[in-house]
Amino acid sequence: MSIIICPGIHESLFTQCFVSGWIDQLTDEAKKKKAVDVLMFPGEGGLALSGFHLWQFLHKHLQDRIESPVVFISFSAGVVGAILAAHKWQEIGGYVKAFIAIDGWGVPMWGNFPIHRMSHDYFTHWSSSMLGSGQNNFCADPPVDHLQMWRSPQSVQGYCLDSCFSESPPKQRLSAAEFLHLLLKHYEDN
């Protein structure tokens, strides 16, 4: 399984914080088994919005593994390019196992793959859900700054909404990093 990290338009340091604060720690077991490959889209600035450039990146790095499962984790403006690339990847025979949008406010979500939204406050969760979302979404409570969701998901507390994993009953508090870990564990196991 490959995890595709799609940052938004922000300092690259925030993505490094996201990776070091969450991905490196929580997927060590899977990395040791070589079950998870983490690829970070290097698109900076407006390239975060480009589904075409992200699709080219995927094609370059995964062309020999096109049918291998892919999970997208995207943030803010990066959600725009990532959802477009996910559809294009699927059109050419790629397997999109799941799509996780972190604070993709105002971005319509559709697809025949599981979609999860993570929001920095309830208004963002509620208003974005009208544009499509799946089950097992996350909402920060108390609300946090938009960039904190990406910069330090381990520090953001909240709830799983719209359904829940068996490991996380409704209204059980957990961090955004723990929620992401539960999602990835679910997709690694299934």
Give the bridge partners for 101, in sequence order.
74, 117
Q: Report the alpha-carbon distance of residue 148 to residue 18 in Å, rounded.
A: 10
Residues whose CB is less than 8 angstroms from the CB of residue 15 and which lie 6 or more positions away in sequence, other chains included:
5, 7, 40, 150
Per residue of the chain (190 residues), give pLDDT as tens: 899 999 887 777 777 778 776 665 554 555 555 567 888 888 777 777 788 889 889 989 998 788 889 999 999 889 999 999 999 999 999 999 999 999 888 788 888 999 999 998 887 777 777 676 777 889 999 999 888 888 889 899 999 876 655 544 456 789 998 888 888 888 987 7
Residue 168: what pLDDT?
Answer: 46
What is the per-residue pLDDT for 59? Answer: 87
CA distance 125 to 166: 22
User: Strand 157-161 vs strand 95-102: parallel, antiparallel, or unpaired?
Assistant: unpaired
pLDDT at position 33 is 54
CATH tag for 2-189 (out of 1.10.8, 3.40.50, 1.10.10, 3.80.10): 3.40.50
153 contacts 175 by C-beta, under 8 angstroms: yes
Residue type, 126: W
Tokens describing residue 163: 């359904």
Q: Within its chain, how far is the Cα of 103 from the centroid?
A: 10
- Its pTM stands at 0.86
The span from the CA of 156 to the CA of 141, in Å, is 8
* pLDDT at site 86: 94
Instruction: Please state the domain extents for the chain.
Output: 2-189
AA letter at 166 = S
CA angle 70, 76, 77 (to 5 degrees): 90
